[in-house]
Amino acid sequence: MDINASNFYQALDTFKVLHDKISTVDEAAFKEVFGSVIAGSEKGILYVFRTEKPIPRLKGVSDVLYIGQTKGSLKQRYLINSAKLANSKANRLKFEHIVSEYGPIRITYAPFSKYGKNLINAEGQLLWWYFQNHCEYPPINYTQTKVRNDRVSVVSF
């Protein structure tokens, strides 16, 4: 099966979901989500932060806030940064607005290997498909991509 911009969200819906959501912007909420057993269970993953309600974009709407990758687990990547995510002035302002306007944030993840030959390439591929759908990158992504494959063939997703 080919994955491309037109079935990008269908592919994202196959990602695994962490059980807890970020519903309040405090250190404990981030620690609960990223400190879970499941957050430490898989390494070498792509992950997506998604909101309950869609956010208006330059073109259309999307519930995708952020697309990232880590060679470690989500627990390794974010648990140590829980205080910074919740308490830095910029992060607090950003996450409080997101949660109050668009609902809790859920974290989804999948092995990178379906989407690219390495983590950076796979992340770039997801960012490119997002860009094709919305003519911009996700609202809290600072990473842009030079990956420009219109489709990737996979066995199944």
Residue pair 106/96 in contact (Cβ under 8 Å)? The answer is no
Number of domains in the chain: 1
What was the pLDDT predicted at 149? 76
Domain membership of residue 147 (yes or no) is no
Domain membership of residue 44 (yes or no) is yes
Q: Which residues contact 29 (CB under 8 A, 6 or more apart)?
A: 22, 23, 86
* 22-56 pLDDT, tens digit each: 999 999 999 999 999 999 999 999 999 999 999 99
Domain membership of residue 93 (yes or no) is yes
Domain membership of residue 154 (yes or no) is no
CATH number for 44? 3.40.1440
Task: Tell me the average pLDDT across 17-25.
Answer: 96
Domain membership of residue 156 (yes or no) is no
* 49-88 pLDDT, tens digit each: 999 999 999 999 999 999 999 999 999 999 999 999 999 9
pTM for the predicted model, two decimal places: 0.90
Give the closest residue to 91 by CA, choosing from 134, 130, 58, 140.
140
* CA 123/CA 112 separation, integer angstroms: 8
Q: Which domain holds residue 129?
A: 2-133
Domain membership of residue 63 (yes or no) is yes
Q: Is the pLDDT of residue 157 over 60?
A: no
